[in-house]
Structure 1
Amino acid sequence: MANLWRLWKILFIFTKYRLDSLVPVEQLPLSLRIALWLAPWRLNPVPSKLSRGARLRLALEALGPIFVKFGQILSTRPDLIPDDIVSELRRLQDNVPPFDNNQAIAMIEDQLGKKISELFSEFSTEPLASASIAQVHAARLPQDSEHGDQEVVVKVVRPSIENTIERDLQLLELMARLLVKYSADARRLKPLEVVEDYRHTIYGELNLQIEASNATQLKRNFEGSDSLYMPEVFWEYTRSKVMVSERIYGIPVADIPELNAQNTDMKLLAERGVEIFFTQVFRDSFFHADMHPGNIFVSRENPSSPQYIAIDCGIVGTLTEEDQHYLAMNLLAFFNQDYHQVAQLHIDSGWVPPTTKVHEFAASIRSVCEPIFDKPLAEISFGQVLIQLFSTARRFNMEVQPQLVLLQKTLLNIEGLGRQLYPQLDLWTTAKPYLERWMRDRFGPKAAFTELKRQLPGWIEKAPQIPGLVHGALSRLNHMDENQQALQSELTQLRLELEKQSQKKRHHILGSLTTGLGLFLWWQAFVLGLPEIAGLSLAGVGLLWLLIKS
């Protein structure tokens, strides 16, 4: 019932803001075009005082946090979304309407077990920013506290947000089940796995202790870095629904005029964003997966060597060593336009079925990519490449890999962000040297020697046990051979017994049929007044056969 009510609300919001006017109707099949043209909501006029971007933003805000997250992703793609819509969607990043201040204060006091006046020497009741999951208040720690007179921000989760999110997730799961049931193409997208992965991600974001641990790990990974700074988390003031961390003063990364006003090196800033992403993915296998502009700032210090400041680490991603390896090899092969290698790697990694014909798959990839590579590199959108590759790979039963969904989303965010900062950003040229260096470090002689040094103590410790282990393994192999021979003998006997039983069964059937046919002929002779000897003789032969074979 709750799902039906939520579905009805989505339809109501859709019609209220006339979002159907944003749909490219001319690209739809004729049947859908007719259905949209006859839809009853067309009687409701398009709101003339609101732009199309404002209508989309207000609709997403009305539908709740999951839809706001979707709008945040769209806001980082000016190469895919018109500028007027992007400018409105950027307001979703930290301008979602706040919840009541008294509720925020009650939540903080309940979580930390003290009054606001005891916890902070100053506390601003008006939030600094309000997002889909939580809002942030400025505060100052008491002078006699361990951290002194420290300026901080207090992050508070929205009250009862779990109920809204769970309702939306159940609706998404219902839609995913319908897709799996009725669409073969949708099954390749693994919608149920994607929804489950998103459930895990969004509930992790609701627990601010998880976010605090993520921020602490990222701070440790980039300790002393000129490229990225992570604010300090104050653990004694952090609980599951409240987190206190260092307040930072930076320029929002989307504020291009302010960045230009302080003579920021925009090219270096954009390139450092790409390098930070690849460092997190390949060096650390731990990456910030919610890098929309509302979560990224630029330090005001040293504009000629700009440093990013990242906040809101509720969503992070990780990759296995195998995924790291295949991803790096795929990207390098792609940059080198080695489409046969791209196809082979997709098969080796299990992303497409092992029965896929490499040459056919490579030819399809080439047909998509060659026209793109004819353009200047700065004009190539990695997002467009991914979209076209996906549509091509569907013919080869390529399935979505849920473990790579966050990575793909983050890579698209990074490219969109970089293009805003420096429109000439060449993602390919920036990323390729890093990947080549990572491959050398990972699989070169130095890496082999490092791995040898790491494993050597364990090998030395186990060396005295090796003769006994080898002897035990050989003994088990001998016993395995004996057991295998015994099993083979039993299988042979069983096969012979089955053949014997089958032959006996055939004999019984033949004898029974012969006897039955003879009796039938004898009865027919009796009815028709014919000689009975033929039927009785045949029945006798059948009975004799049965007796002999029994």
Structure 2
Amino acid sequence: MLRTLRSLLRFQRIARTLARHDALAPLEEMGVAPGLVWFARRFSRRQAEGRPGEKLARALTEMGPSFIKLGQALSTRADLVGEQIALDLAELQDHLPPFDTALAREIIEEELGRPVEELFLSFDADPVSAASIAQVHHATVAPDPREEEGGDAEDRQREPRQVAVKVLRPGIEKAFDRDLEFFYWVAEVIETTQPKLRRFRPVEAVGVFENTVRLEMDLRMEGAAASELAENFAGDPTYNVPAIDWRRSSRRVLTMSRVSGIPMDDRAALQAAGHDLTDVLTKAAGIFFNQVFRDGFFHGDQHPGNMWVDREGNILAVDFGIMGRMDWRTRRHLADMLIATLDGDYHRLAAVYMEAGYLPQVRPGGPDLDVFAQALRSVCEPIAGRPLNEISFARLLAQLLRLTESFELPVQPQLLLLQKNMLMAEGVSRSLDPSLNIWTLAQPLIDAWMRENRGPEARLREGVADVLHGLRQLPVLADNLERATEELAAGRIRLHPETIARLTNRPGGNLGRWALPVAVAALAIALAALF
């Protein structure tokens, strides 16, 4: 009761803020606390400028860090808020006034157990950026002795290392916990009062949001993500990730090498620096493709503020708090979807959706699958035969995801994050050269990956792997069968008489003894085909 009262009072304040920005439409559509929403609308008749998504972004910014993060999360949910609002929220600027540098120094000393003067040769008083979760200060540190191999070590001692120090906002965890209670309350109200919205699983969505932000507030996780990304691109000069200084990092402090460059979308500055825009975009396309399909681990917030171009025309990345993962199975299904789309085989495309588990209620070959194939055709046919530079694959993926509403499909969070980053990549591409499409530049990589991973030989290798996996399970199955037989013989397992009759009278009941020979023969045939 106390929680409900507290949430209602909070809701009233939030509704008034939304009303001031003329951004009540989402709450009105969801039907949450309609009386309070009507009251807020009635006593605030302001007509703000801009699209609904732009108004909502301004209101969320005013409401503070947790709501900014909520807006960023909603920017991946075009299925929930609509494509245009999702696009507007993707532009939500995660900037807040900085907090006092004295507090930042206190946090550093508390976390690392040493005075700032011992940790850094210099520490800038003014932060270079301040966001909802943390702010960043420039600093210098003594050269790492482990890096002094060859050359003049004495000269290097005179060259301090330039670093960036990210410090978590004071009190951000408690503020997030307070806001989280409210978010869960709203989600529970929606699930209780709005049956048509239950398929979006709002309580579960808030849980995913909670886990994401909690990970983002542990700066060690961001450091680990940066290290993994750097490992994935080791030896590839086109993509550079700052090195993490683990001795000066902890849960609330992250120190990394300082990087600088030209923002990815600053066309004039890139041209003035003499960069070939096509070359820059080609590198960016290769990086995006390799992160998603080769590694299954991608930067989840690749807006231009986090992507820069260095003097050599290579890409620099920062801010690894939001990362996406896609397992091999998901990548394989995405590739099969792409092949089916390009072939115009919509029944195969629908079947891949079913194989991926995105259509759990559809019966193979049944009329529902045919209807879904027809819906896929309606989305894909308008782009059939058009050149790649005229196609937005991010928008195509968004339209396919919108089919979740019509067919009540479960939402796939990893695909939503991927779609958001595809939109960002396409936006940067078109801002630099409207005649180019980043996917056109990535096509050689796509073709090579398809041949290697989804071609006939790859499918044969996959089949052999499945057979080998089955053979490896045979000893376990045999052991389980032996134990079950012993339990049955001892009378500890009882079968119903009808079950015994069906087992003993079943035609072909002796087929079980052929399982192993058949499996071995299948493996032999598969290996012979390979070699």
In the superposition, the TM-score normalised over structure 2's length comes to 0.75
Q: Verify the 8 A CA contact 1:185 1:394 in the aligned structure 2.
A: no
Once the two structures are TM-superposed, the CA of residue 231 in structure 1 deviates from its matched residue by 0.8
Amino acid at match of 1:402: P
Distance in structure 1 (CA, Å) of the matches to 2:310 and 2:408: 46
Q: Secondary structure at the match of 1:39?
A: helix
Distance in structure 1 (CA, Å) of the matches to 2:40 and 2:167: 46
Once the two structures are TM-superposed, the CA of residue 183 in structure 1 deviates from its matched residue by 3.6
Once the two structures are TM-superposed, the CA of residue 242 in structure 1 deviates from its matched residue by 0.4
Note the alpha carbon deviations across 1:245-281, whole angstroms, 9 max, x for none.
1011211223222112123222332333232222112
Q: CA RMSD in A?
A: 4.4
Matched, 1:215 2:226: yes
Corresponding residue for residue 414 of structure 1: 425
Matched, 1:11 2:15: yes
Distance 1:480 1:418, change over 3 A: farther
Amino acid at match of 1:288: H
Distance 1:185 1:371, change over 3 A: farther
Once the two structures are TM-superposed, the CA of residue 199 in structure 1 deviates from its matched residue by 1.3
The count of corresponding residues between Structure 1 and Structure 2 is 470
Q: Verify the 8 A CA contact 2:285 2:441 in the aligned structure 1.
A: yes
Note the alpha carbon deviations across 1:165-216, whole angstroms, 9 max, x for none.
2233333322322333344442322333322222111111101111111111
Distance in structure 2 (CA, Å) of the matches to 1:391 and 1:469: 43
Corresponding residue for residue 98 of structure 1: 98
Distance in structure 2 (CA, Å) of the matches to 1:424 and 1:36: 47
Once the two structures are TM-superposed, the CA of residue 63 in structure 1 deviates from its matched residue by 1.5
Distance in structure 2 (CA, Å) of the matches to 1:472 and 1:240: 47
Question: Matches of residues 1-400 of structure 1 in structure 2 within 5 Å?
Answer: 1=3, 2-19=6-23, 39-43=41-45, 45-46=46-47, 58-69=58-69, 92-93=93-94, 95-142=95-142, 148=157, 149-301=160-312, 306-356=313-363, 357-373=368-384, 377-400=388-411
Distance 1:406 1:66, change over 3 A: farther
In the superposition, the TM-score normalised over structure 1's length comes to 0.73
Corresponding residue for residue 514 of structure 1: none
Corresponding residue for residue 505 of structure 2: none
Amino acid at match of 1:353: P
Q: Which runs of 5+ in 1 are unaligned?
A: 495-550
Moved more, 250-259 or 442-451: 442-451
Moved more, 111-120 or 166-175: 166-175
Distance 1:431 1:40, change over 3 A: same
Distance 1:340 1:447, change over 3 A: closer
Q: Verify the 8 A CA contact 1:290 1:315 in the aligned structure 2.
A: yes
Q: Verify the 8 A CA contact 2:184 2:203 in the aligned structure 1.
A: yes
Moved more, 428-437 or 413-422: 428-437
Distance 1:439 1:144, change over 3 A: closer
Distance in structure 2 (CA, Å) of the matches to 1:466 and 1:358: 33
Distance in structure 2 (CA, Å) of the matches to 1:258 and 1:325: 39
Distance in structure 1 (CA, Å) of the matches to 2:314 and 2:251: 30
Q: Secondary structure at the match of 1:151?
A: strand
Distance in structure 1 (CA, Å) of the matches to 2:268 and 2:73: 22
Q: Verify the 8 A CA contact 1:71 1:92 in the aligned structure 2.
A: no
Distance in structure 2 (CA, Å) of the matches to 1:424 and 1:54: 28
Q: Verify the 8 A CA contact 2:71 2:92 in the aligned structure 1.
A: no
Q: Secondary structure at the match of 1:399?
A: coil
Once the two structures are TM-superposed, the CA of residue 238 in structure 1 deviates from its matched residue by 0.5
Distance 1:417 1:73, change over 3 A: farther
Once the two structures are TM-superposed, the CA of residue 476 in structure 1 deviates from its matched residue by 5.8
Once the two structures are TM-superposed, the CA of residue 154 in structure 1 deviates from its matched residue by 0.6
Once the two structures are TM-superposed, the CA of residue 232 in structure 1 deviates from its matched residue by 0.6
Corresponding residue for residue 522 of structure 2: none
Once the two structures are TM-superposed, the CA of residue 469 in structure 1 deviates from its matched residue by 8.0
Amino acid at match of 2:204: E
Q: Verify the 8 A CA contact 2:404 2:411 in the aligned structure 1.
A: no
Distance in structure 1 (CA, Å) of the matches to 2:73 and 2:297: 20
Distance in structure 2 (CA, Å) of the matches to 1:380 and 1:391: 18
Identity %: 34
Distance in structure 2 (CA, Å) of the matches to 1:466 and 1:179: 45
Q: Secondary structure at the match of 2:308?
A: strand
Distance in structure 2 (CA, Å) of the matches to 1:401 and 1:4: 31
Q: Verify the 8 A CA contact 2:20 2:44 in the aligned structure 1.
A: no
Distance in structure 2 (CA, Å) of the matches to 1:69 and 1:382: 26
Q: Secondary structure at the match of 2:180?
A: helix
Distance 1:181 1:404, change over 3 A: farther
Distance in structure 2 (CA, Å) of the matches to 1:209 and 1:96: 22
Distance in structure 2 (CA, Å) of the matches to 1:51 and 1:277: 30
Question: Matches of residues 480-495 of structure 1 in structure 2 within 5 Å?
Answer: 487-488=494-495, 490=497
Distance 1:174 1:266, change over 3 A: farther
Distance in structure 2 (CA, Å) of the matches to 1:493 and 1:151: 77
Corresponding residue for residue 508 of structure 2: none
Once the two structures are TM-superposed, the CA of residue 90 in structure 1 deviates from its matched residue by 5.5
Once the two structures are TM-superposed, the CA of residue 377 in structure 1 deviates from its matched residue by 3.7
Distance in structure 2 (CA, Å) of the matches to 1:448 and 1:493: 41
Distance in structure 1 (CA, Å) of the matches to 2:73 and 2:410: 22
Note the alpha carbon deviations across 1:363-415, whole angstroms, 9 max, x for none.
11111222244765434333432343333343322110234333333333333
Amino acid at match of 1:341: R
Matched, 1:429 2:440: yes
Distance 1:265 1:231, change over 3 A: same
Q: Verify the 8 A CA contact 1:190 1:399 in the aligned structure 2.
A: no
Moved more, 106-115 or 131-140: 106-115
Q: Verify the 8 A CA contact 1:270 1:422 in the aligned structure 2.
A: no
Distance in structure 1 (CA, Å) of the matches to 2:489 and 2:265: 72
Distance 1:490 1:164, change over 3 A: same
Q: Which has the larger radius of gyration?
A: 1
Distance 1:390 1:286, change over 3 A: closer
Q: Secondary structure at the match of 2:229?
A: helix
Once the two structures are TM-superposed, the CA of residue 132 in structure 1 deviates from its matched residue by 1.4
Q: Secondary structure at the match of 1:346?
A: helix
Distance 1:273 1:184, change over 3 A: farther
Distance 1:336 1:182, change over 3 A: farther
Distance 1:437 1:188, change over 3 A: farther
Match for residue 441 of structure 1 among 434, 452, 459: 452
Amino acid at match of 2:7: N
Q: Which runs of 5+ in 2 are unaligned?
A: 148-156, 502-531
Amino acid at match of 2:18: F
Q: Verify the 8 A CA contact 1:194 1:402 in the aligned structure 2.
A: no
Amino acid at match of 1:64: G
